[in-house]
Amino acid sequence: MAKTGMQEPTFLVLTALAGGPRHGYAVMREVTAASEGRVRLRAGTLYAALERLEAEGLVRACDSEVVDGRRRRYYELTDQGAARLAEEAARAAANAARAKRALAARTARAARTVTA
Amino acid sequence: MTGRAGAGGRPGGDVESLDRAARVYRLAMGAYPRRWRARYADEVLGVLLEPAGNAGPAVDWREASSLVGNGLLVRVEELFGWCTRRTREVAAAGASMMLMVVSVAALVFGEWLPRRAGAPLLSIEDADVAAGWQAAETGFGTPGLGTIVCLTAMVGSLCTILGRARAGQGWFAVTAAAALAAPLVSAVVPVNRPLVMHLALVFGLAMVAAAAPVAVRPGRRAWVAGGVAAVAGVALLWVFSSVTHDGDWSTTFYDVYLVTRPISDAVSWVTIPGVLVVAVVPGLRRHIAAYLLMCLPWWLQQAGFQQLRSLLAPDTVPAFIGLAALLILAAVGLARLRQTYRLERINPRP
């Protein structure tokens, strides 16, 4: 698989599933909560992501139940999905660290300019 | 209207609204292939109706439109799933180039053919009759609408590129609605029918729908620069050829209109709904906006600009001002895009 970054909604879906098996609606709520309301997944977007992630082997349907006459599936993260999420989290952390270093250097430069 | 149910169950009115919502969502899910519906439709419906609780759900039209958009995308993916992404990109770029060549050829051919055949220059009144126009007596006709279409598209593009995606989306919806209204209005109201603006408008939309994702990818800046140069160049040529025109606009009007009308009609009805769908898909918004901006010099010159010029003054000063403004706009957009590319290089998206 190409080692490219993933889009935020995908990242948040995987993060939601890292907490344990969840059905679609629970994933949507979890994503909204995790992003502090910034990302609101629509059902069409969520299931497009789930279908793609299933095809890539990152998540799988693990259980199902029938509620109000409608099937409700539970999805969970696969080992491959967990590895990918970890890799993505590490990349994001490295990016954040790089940004912090750059900002610190900028602050230091500004301080030097003021003292000079 | 029935009252709200207690904890025990739903009242009759809520069951009705539940059924209605389920019907609407099922209808929207018709955009997905059968295979997908068999696998996910029940689940998606459960997710969409779940928040209603005992209150009874109202149809969320954003969810419904999202389902339609995603459904069409899944169908497109399935349709072109047999070829690689690279092949699809090349095909999309090729189709866009072809569309551009065909459109320009149609315009040139429409101008050249009657001259070659020695067709007499008609007066504007006779040209109107030949093209099937109905002259407006007074008031605001479709030329004005064409101008608005271009301006709203411009605002939409800028909003999207500047990160105001929601506002941009609204402007694009207005643009598409206005574009749809232009031929309808001209068909039922005795006002001037749209000139080549119809073609120019849908030409831009079709190119956006086909080539936007290819054109603005990191590493494809040459495409963007080439596109801007091409459309600006053609627009400039058009303006300069207008300056040295023999003074009789009739050939420009009716010939171009006659030759390009079948193309423009066919393309417009296909592309406008398509662009509306694509405009609500988050991943493509920036691409669409970028490409729209690239098309704008061509677009506005053809559509609103020529109308504006004839309305405001017979000379070409407003033309140059308008064109200069558009080129500046395109430059600003490009600068913004460069910034985006840099960010995407640091933090690439799949």
Which of A2, A42, A51 minimises the CB distance to B350? A2
Q: Check residue B147 and give its pLDDT.
A: 56
> Mean pLDDT across the stretch B110-131?
49
Q: Check residue A74 and give its pLDDT.
A: 93
Domains of chain B: which residue ranges? 12-77, 84-346
> Mean pLDDT across the stretch B307-323?
44
Q: At what angle do helices B142-161 and B165-188 cross, to 10 degrees?
A: 170
Does B44 sit within 8 Å of A24, measured CB to CB?
Answer: yes
Q: Check residue A84 and give its pLDDT.
A: 93
The one-letter code for the residue type at B219 is G
Mean pLDDT of chain B: 56
Whether residue B213 is predicted with pLDDT greater than 50 in this model: the reply is no
CB contact residues (below 8 A), chain B span 29-88, against chain A: 36, 40, 42-51, 62-63, 66-67, 69-71, 73-74
Does B45 sit within 8 Å of A7, measured CB to CB?
Answer: no
Neighbours of B51 (CB within 10 A): 12
Place B58 in a pLDDT band, splitting at 50, 70 and 90.
confident
Does B43 sit within 8 Å of A24, measured CB to CB?
Answer: yes
Say what percent of chain B tops pLDDT 70. Answer: 16
Residue B282 burial by Cβ neighbours in a 10 Å radius (0-12, 13-18, 19+): middle
Tell me which residue has tokens 């899944």: B74
pLDDT values of chain A reduced to their tens digit, one per residue, 116 residues = 444 567 788 899 999 999 899 999 999 999 988 888 888 888 888 998 898 899 889 999 988 888 777 788 999 999 999 999 999 999 989 989 999 999 999 999 888 888 87
As given in the structure block, the two tokens for residue A55 are 């095809």
From B346, which residue of chain A is nearest by alpha-carbon distance?
A95
Q: Check residue A39 and give its pLDDT.
A: 82
How far, rounded to the nearest angstrom, does the alpha carbon of residue B137 sit from its chain's CA centroid?
Answer: 30
Q: Which CATH number among 1.10.10.10, 3.30.2320.50, 1.20.120.530, 3.30.420.40 corresponds to the domain A8-115?
A: 1.10.10.10
> Mean pLDDT across the stretch B5-18?
51
Domains of chain A: which residue ranges? 8-115
> Mean pLDDT across the stretch B2-8?
35
- Report the predicted TM-score, pTM, of the whole model to 2 decimal places: 0.47
Does B46 sit within 8 Å of A68, measured CB to CB?
Answer: yes
Give contacts of A62 with chain B, Cβ < 8 Å. none
From A42, which residue of chain B is nearest by alpha-carbon distance?
B63
- Which position has the higher pLDDT, B96 or B50? B50
Reported ipTM: the value is: 0.80
3-class SS of residue B196: coil
Q: Check residue B14 and give its pLDDT.
A: 65
How far, rounded to the nearest angstrom, does the alpha carbon of residue B196 sit from its chain's CA centroid?
Answer: 15
Which of B63, B74, B348 minimises the CB distance to A4? B348
Alpha carbon distance A27, A41 (integer Å): 9
Does B73 sit within 8 Å of A5, measured CB to CB?
Answer: no
Digit-coded pLDDT (tens) for B170-189: 666 666 666 666 555 555 65
> Mean pLDDT across the stretch B323-345?
53
Does A68 sit within 8 Å of B349, measured CB to CB?
Answer: no
